[in-house]
Structure formats: C-alpha cells, structure tokens
Amino acid sequence: EQRITVPGSFTSKSGAKCVSCAYKASAGLLYPLERGFIYITKPPIYIHHDDVASCGFNRSNTATGRTFDFEIQLKSGGSQVFSNIEKEEAKPMSDFLSSKDLRIHAASNWDKKVNYAVDKVKDRDIYLEHVQNEGQEREDDDEESDDEEDDEDFQGT
C-alpha cells in the first residue's frame, strides 16, 4: 500500500501550505510536512524529519534584507539550504519546527547571542529579535564613535 503525502499543519503568513524559495539556482516551493520537508522543482527533494539533525535561519546576503535562508543540517553530515524566503515566513516556520520538536541551531551569519533552542522558540519572532539585536549593536557602535569625537585634546585650525 502506497501512502500519499499531503500538506500538513504548516500555514504560511499568506495562508499557503508552502513557502516560495530557491535551492541553488532553481526557484521552487518548500512544503513543511508532518513527517518531512519536500521541495518541489526539478528534481524534487524530500527530507524526512528523522534525517534532520537541526534547522537554522540565516540572514540572506541581499541588500534589502527582506529574505532569509532556511538551512537543514542532516544527521548524515550534509546540509540543504533553501534561500530567498520572505522574512514574514520566519515566525510560521519557527512555530512549525517547534511543534515538530525539531532542533533549531544558531546559524553562522545570525547573531550568536540569540538562543534558538526549540523549547524557547514557541512564541518568539526570531527574525524580529535578530533585527532588534542588530539595531542595538549599531546604536552601541554609534555611541562609541560619538564619544571618540568629543576629544578634549583636539585643536582645530
């Protein structure tokens, strides 16, 4: 008997059962399923939850900052990265991962100070937290540079 896989409990910010993203150079749709993830394009990619070591959210290297990358670390040692996902999908994705008890790791180009442990993700918007932390760091850097400008030894000409 062959089972048919259908979309599960995940619902995106726009109400869809998937998120639009890219894998390498191919645009497609990533469906978070009850027992795995399936990426629909040529060729399709299926990752069973049992094969997932952890998942992470990486900030995309785009100037606009409107998207993020979703990384799935595999127990076999490799990883799959799905890019250009709209930032509004970070909360629904993190909620879904939390509901499936999938471990969320701090990704390499996100702030290491934020703990993405799955038991603490339930009601958090991790993208918002990252942006807030980044803004705070910029404010702190600006305050430090302002202090340097108040040099009493400065003698103008």
Per-residue model confidence (pLDDT) at position 95: 92
* pLDDT string in tens for the chain (157-residue length): 666 677 788 999 999 999 999 998 889 999 999 889 999 987 889 999 999 999 998 876 666 678 899 999 999 999 999 999 998 998 999 999 999 999 988 755 444 433 433 334 444 555 566 667 777 777 776 666 555 555 566 666 6
Predicted confidence at residue 28, as pLDDT, reads 94
Q: Where are the domains of the chain?
A: 50-144
3-state secondary structure the chain: CCCCCCCCCCCCCCCCCCEEEEECCEEEEEEECCCEEEEECCCCEEEEHHHEEEEEEEECCCCCCCEEEEEEEECCCCEEEEEEEEHHHHHHHHHHHHHCCCCECCCCCCCCCCCCCHHHCCCCCHHHHHHHHHHHHHHHHHHHHHHHHCCCCCCCC
50-144: CATH topology: PH-domain like (2.30.29)
Q: What is the pTM of this model?
A: 0.62
